[in-house]
Amino acid sequence: MTRAGLAAARSGTTQLAEIIPQVNDEQWELPSACDGWRVIDVVAHLAALASEAVDPPPPDPSLPKNRERYHDLRVDQRRGWSHAEVLDEWRRSTPRQLDLLEAEQEPPSADEPVEVAGLGTYPRHLLANTMAFNVFCHLYNDMLAPDGPLPFRLPEPTDDLVAPAVDFMLAGLPQMQGPELTATVGRPLVLELTGPGATTVTIHPATAPDGQLTVAPGTDDATTRIHSTALDFIAGATTRKPWRDHCSITGDAAAATPFLDFLNII
């Protein structure tokens, strides 16, 4: 099971809980590095995710199908809240979310497929990695300097914190953007990530017209390679930073460029 994902989710949550008391009212209102969201809106987003995890709302066909627009909607619903109200929701719902994720590491439910609207289908135990990814991305990339506005420091990210986030990204990669991303991969591409969260996988083209990309461990026989640190991959593959600023390609660059241009992990 993905107990590493659960541990990372708990660690990231603890780090955010340590930052929150240091933020003053003016800083909560600063624009974060997440386009259109203030710093307090980032916490509102995490609070909304936690609340929906522990108390799922009934299906509503009128809600946006696009996951990013859905997140914007949930944040917009909280824009009239005070800072204290947003933080109270996060503090109230997050421990319950973590407890739920811990229970989902146990069989028989751990391997049950769960559809995450707009993002694909995952084994239930991998939802812990989803939370680890969300907290890490927003805290390190959107809230804290140098990319975010908050002048506070945390320890340099470790493998234990980064690897579970990368694992979720690689699980979501074949699913989130559907046939549009699939169409950009005509031959195997090796993705070689270094530093904390290091891994090497091969992205294989779909083998059927309606199939998905496949992400497999190792290098296979692919000659085109994408090189990046795992931390830069998180920033680039979520479109927080231009991938050209941190990725290098060896082999046939024309085979990898369309894939990197289109990649957008949510």
Q: Are residues 197 and 133 part of one domain?
A: no
Structure confidence at residue 1 as a pLDDT band (50, 70, 90): very low
Q: What is the pLDDT of residue 2?
A: 63
Q: Are residues 60 and 31 part of one domain?
A: yes
* Domain count for the chain: 2
Q: Are residues 87 and 200 part of one domain?
A: no
pLDDT digits (tens, 9 = 90+) for 100-149: 999 999 888 899 999 888 889 999 999 999 999 999 999 999 999 999 99
Q: Is residue 227 part of a domain?
A: yes
pTM of the predicted model, to two decimals?
A: 0.94
Q: Are residues 184 and 97 part of one domain?
A: no
Q: Are residues 189 and 135 part of one domain?
A: no
Q: Are residues 195 and 105 part of one domain?
A: no
Q: Are residues 188 and 132 part of one domain?
A: no
- Per residue, what are the HEC states of 82-123? CHHHHHHHHHHHHHHHHHHHHHCCCCCHHHCEEEECCCEEEE
Q: What is the mean pLDDT of the chain?
A: 94
Q: Are residues 220 and 110 part of one domain?
A: no
Closest CA to 208 of 246, 235, 182, 169: 182
In angstroms, the first-to-last Cα distance of the chain is 23
Q: Is residue 166 part of a domain?
A: no
Q: Are residues 71 and 14 part of one domain?
A: yes
Q: Is residue 170 part of a domain?
A: no
CATH for 241:
3.30.1050.10
Q: Are residues 104 and 39 part of one domain?
A: yes
Q: Are residues 148 and 74 part of one domain?
A: yes
For the chain, how big is the Rg over CA atoms in Å? 18
Which structural domain range is residue 36 located in?
3-155
DSSP assigned state of 150: B
Structure confidence at residue 193 as a pLDDT band (50, 70, 90): very high
Q: Are residues 90 and 22 part of one domain?
A: yes
Cα–Cα distance for residue pair 235/187, rounded to 1 Å: 25
Q: Is residue 162 part of a domain?
A: no
